[in-house]
């Protein structure tokens, strides 16, 4: 059987038998030849947007601090203790300029390592196989439901893998990512395109899968881009439903929960597109936790991904029309979070 026929046969088996139940001594999973010829997903990684990543110097503010009117000058304001980040526009001795005539001591500032993660462009034709991102450094088990050995292959966070087969064991799904290589569902995030809801009224639209923590950009029914996100935590959930981007900003200030333990102050949040009140899609320079929930409700993306999505969404806006809305945003869950 040639390679193409073998691949088609294997894909057919994957579709009609997502969980393969065989005799105890039999093997499960795709044939080794199919795996060997399809190690890498047929997608194109975005290159990090170097300009967007380097055009600001971000700093974290540690503790409650007084804002000074000049370098070493008198206090003119204050910033409460919280999850606080500023952009530094210059340094004078032991002080940094954070805004016009606003300074902070360098001693209260710490560096920020901006994530260089980026999503992928999807092929115009069908994907060869389903694919996913590995969420944590992990070793793949030689068979589903077993603990990996030190000799088993190591997969790295953000690594892309094809999914060749899946098996459910004790209520959890295990995915085959190579020859005798299986990873539990909690350690990967899958790309799962969703059917276009009939209520969608824009050519370009965005889906947000809260379960997989994956966003997908569509043109009509064709998915063209996908990446990992970080949506709201349980106490600050990202609402499910159908929305539209109603306003957007290349840079904006975000602040909230003043006087509470979860107070935050984030300067110049990049590439923000609000779609549900004060919930929006935007770049996050303050963490590299994409693939996991961790926000106050917004949909966090890497700066590279947020910049790409912001520019891609532009054709949906008619800037000659007052209050024109942008692309539809469909927020849903493909599974039950636990």
Give per-residue burial for 77-113: e unless 16+ CB within 10 Å, then b: eebeebbbbbbbeeeeeebbbbeeebbbeeebbeebe
Among 190, 216, 236, give the residue marking a domain's end: 190
Residue 117 maps to a domain: no
Please tell me whether residues 67 and 168 are part of one structural domain. Answer: no
Residue 42 maps to a domain: no
Among 190, 219, 235, give the residue marking a domain's end: 190
Please tell me whether residues 18 and 96 are part of one structural domain. Answer: no
Q: Could you tell me the pLDDT band of residue 242, with boundaries at 50, 70 and 90?
A: very high
DSSP letters of 79-91?
Answer: E-SSEEEEE--EE
Residue 286 maps to a domain: yes
What SS3 class is residue 279? strand
pLDDT score recorded for residue 5: 43
What pTM, to 2 d.p., does this model score?
Answer: 0.90
Residue 124 maps to a domain: no
pLDDT tens string 131-168: 999 999 999 999 999 999 999 999 999 999 999 999 99
Please tell me whether residues 218 and 172 are part of one structural domain. Answer: no
Question: How many domains is the chain partitioned into structurally?
Answer: 3
Please tell me whether residues 186 and 214 are part of one structural domain. Answer: no
Please tell me whether residues 212 and 324 are part of one structural domain. Answer: yes
Distances from the Cα of 159 to the Cα of 28, 138, 150, 292, angstroms: 24, 11, 19, 15
pLDDT tens string 252-310: 999 988 888 889 999 999 999 999 999 999 999 999 999 999 999 999 999 999 999 99
Please tell me whether residues 180 and 217 are part of one structural domain. Answer: no
Residue 293 maps to a domain: yes
Distances from the Cα of 108 to the Cα of 24, 67, 141, 285, angstroms: 61, 11, 45, 19
Closest CA to 228 of 308, 335, 302: 302
Please tell me whether residues 185 and 208 are part of one structural domain. Answer: no
Instruction: Between 46 and 24, name the one with better pLDDT.
Output: 46
Please tell me whether residues 317 and 252 are part of one structural domain. Answer: yes
pLDDT tens string 32-45: 988 988 999 999 99
DSSP state of 155: E
Residue 68, domain extent? 57-111
DSSP state of 88: -
Please tell me whether residues 144 and 87 are part of one structural domain. Answer: no
pLDDT score recorded for residue 8: 42
Q: How far apart are CA 193 and CA 207, in angstroms?
A: 8
Please tell me whether residues 83 and 158 are part of one structural domain. Answer: no
DSSP run (H or E) holding 309: helix 303-313
Tokens linked to 3: 């390679």
DSSP letters of 176-203?
Answer: EEETTEEEEGGGEEE----PPPTT--SS
Please tell me whether residues 242 and 314 are part of one structural domain. Answer: yes
Identify the CATH number of the domain in which residue 273 sits: 2.40.440.10
Among 159, 190, 221, give the residue marking a domain's end: 190
Q: Could you tell me the pLDDT band of residue 19, with boundaries at 50, 70 and 90?
A: very low
Residue 33 maps to a domain: yes
Q: What is the mean pLDDT of residues 159-180?
A: 96
Please tell me whether residues 236 and 324 are part of one structural domain. Answer: yes
Residue 51 maps to a domain: no
Residue 265 maps to a domain: yes
Q: What is the mean pLDDT of residues 46-59?
A: 96
Q: How far apart are CA 62 and CA 49, in angstroms?
A: 28
């Amino acid at each position: 059987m040639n390679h193409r026929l073998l691949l088609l046969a294997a894909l057919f088996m994957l579709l009609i038998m997502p969980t393969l139940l065989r005799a105890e001594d039999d093997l499960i999973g795709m044939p080794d030849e199919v795996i060997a010829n399809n190690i890498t997903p047929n997608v194109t990684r975005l290159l990090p947007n170097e300009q967007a990543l380097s055009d600001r110097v971000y700093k974290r503010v540690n503790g409650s601090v007084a804002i000074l009117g000049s370098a070493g000058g008198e206090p003119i304001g204050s910033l409460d203790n919280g999850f606080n980040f500023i952009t530094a526009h210059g340094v004078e001795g032991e002080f940094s300029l954070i805004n016009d005539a606003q300074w902070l001591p360098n001693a209260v500032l710490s560096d920020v390592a901006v994530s260089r993660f980026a999503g992928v462009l999807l092929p115009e034709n069908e994907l060869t196989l389903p694919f996913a991102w590995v969420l944590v450094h992990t070793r793949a088990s030689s068979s589903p439901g077993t603990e990996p050995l030190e000799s088993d292959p190591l997969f790295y966070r953000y690594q892309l893998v094809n999914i060749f087969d899946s098996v459910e064991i004790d209520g959890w799904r295990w995915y085959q990512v190579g020859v005798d290589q299986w990873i539990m569902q909690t350690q990967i995030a899958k790309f799962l395109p969703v059917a276009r809801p009939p209520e969608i009224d824009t050519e370009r639209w965005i889906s947000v899968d809260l379960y997989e923590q994956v966003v997908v950009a569509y043109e009509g029914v064709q998915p063209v881009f996908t990446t990992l996100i970080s949506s709201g935590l349980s106490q600050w959930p990202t609402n499910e439903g159908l929305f539209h981007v109603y306003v957007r900003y290349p840079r904006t200030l975000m602040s909230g929960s003043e006087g509470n333990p979860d107070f935050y102050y984030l300067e110049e949040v990049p590439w923000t597109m609000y779609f549900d009140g004060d919930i929006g899609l935007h770049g996050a320079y303050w963490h590299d936790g994409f693939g996991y929930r961790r926000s106050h409700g917004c949909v966090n993306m890497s700066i590279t991904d947020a910049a790409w999505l912001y520019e891609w969404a532009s054709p949906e806006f008619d800037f000659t029309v007052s209050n024109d809305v942008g692309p539809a945003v469909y927020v849903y869950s493909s599974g039950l979070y636990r």
